[in-house]
Amino acid sequence: MTLPDDLPIVDHHCHLSPTGEGVAAARRFREAGGTHLFLATQNYAPRVPTTEAEYVAQFETTERLARRVHEETGTVVYPVIAPYPIDLVHAAPDLGVAGALQLQLRALDRAGAWIRDRRAVALGEVGRAHFPVPEPVAAALATVFEYALAIARDAGCPAVVHSEELDRAGYRQLAELARRIGLAPERVVKHYARSRVPAEERDGIAPSYVARRELVREVARDPAPWFLETDFLDDPKRPGAVLDLTTVPRRARAAGERSAPERDALRVPFVESVERVYGLRPIVERGVPA
């Protein structure tokens, strides 16, 4: 049993680096059957940015990578940009907590402007630390997170959230925070979700599940919205981390070979969820280099 020719294969969250595989990784994704990537920005320098200009340069690097991947492989790339929230933790020793907080706010303003100019499709990753931090740092992260949700609200885009693993209560609390800010929970994505939470317990928020074999099978029958991702890091020191970029196409092919219901269910993460959360229509491009 083969996958339909018109079915896009979408990795909802990955990173590429000009000092890693870069375009070569995207070419492997394409050759495995992948068609669309959500490309999240990342720090490309050895240290975290400490100036607004360094964040602008980071966003520009992501934009160039997205363009090159599309031009050289035919893969459709959706850039996702924001200052990584954990940067605040590492910048605070040099800038002070207040200085690191202000830098995050200015970088978020820049990211929002890029999204309004259609240079990116979402704000991300934004959120909070997934490990213990001192109370002043935690308070600053909370301030930045609320500001990020407000930026997403005003830019009319989804917010892709980095946080600890969420259970039912965690999804509810995140949805309540989004509503308080004025951002619909349906425009919030929990990146790097590692365990299934039933749709009725997520309060509208979409999980982006790490595409591990057992988890993909567990969530296969769930209604939209939910996504599959590799969180591929493109780090030469950690090859294949978190998952290799060919993983989502391989999982899709395996699902299609198992049964017609599992094959048909792939439209949920690859089509329905992209349309509902992002307002995008992922169409398979033909006549492009693979």
Residue 230 within any structural domain of the chain: no
**How many other CB atoms are there within 10 angstroms of residue 133's CB atom?**
17
**Is residue 103, in this structure, part of any structural domain at all?**
yes
Count of domains for the chain: 1
d(CA 82, CA 42): 9
**Would you say residue 108 lies in a domain?**
yes
Q: Is residue 41 part of a domain?
A: no
- Return d(Cα 111, Cα 98) in angstroms, integer: 20
Residue 152 placed within a domain:
yes
- Report d(CA 224, CA 210) in Å as an integer: 16
5-22 burial: b if 16+ Cβ within 10 Å, else e = eebbbbbbbbbbbeebbb
C-beta atoms surrounding 114 within 10 Å: 20
Domain at 55, CATH number: 3.20.20.140
Q: Decide if 34 is inside a domain.
A: no
- In a 10 Å sphere around its CB, with 0-12 CB exposed, 13-18 middle and 19+ buried, how is residue 268 labelled? buried
- Residue 21 CA to residue 241 CA, distance in Å, equals 12
Provide DSSP, 206-256.
EEEEE--HHHHHHHTTPPSS-EEE--B---TTSTT-SS-TTHHHHHHHHHH
Distance from CA of residue 256 to its chain's centroid?
25
The residue range of the domain holding 141 is: 49-68+77-164
Greatest extent of the chain over all pairs of C-alpha atoms, in Å: 58
- Alpha carbons within 13 angstroms on the beta-carbon side of residue 181 total 25
pTM: 0.96
Q: What is the pLDDT of residues 25-62, one digit of tens each?
A: 999 999 999 999 999 999 999 999 999 999 999 999 99
**Residue bearing tokens 């780090």:** 235
Residuewise pLDDT in 10s, the chain (290 residues): 689 999 999 999 999 999 999 999 999 999 999 999 999 999 999 999 999 999 999 999 999 999 999 999 999 999 999 999 999 999 999 999 999 999 999 999 999 999 999 999 999 999 999 999 999 999 999 999 999 999 999 999 999 999 999 999 999 999 999 999 999 999 999 999 999 999 999 999 999 999 999 999 999 999 999 999 999 999 888 887 899 999 999 999 999 898 898 899 999 999 999 999 999 999 987 544 43
Is the residue at 124 inside a domain?
A: yes
Helix (H) or strand (E) holding 124: strand 122-127
Query: Which is nearest to 246 in space by CA: 74, 34, 41, 72?
Result: 34
CA dist 4 to 8, 10, 33, 289, Å? 9, 14, 11, 19
Residue 184 lies in a domain: no
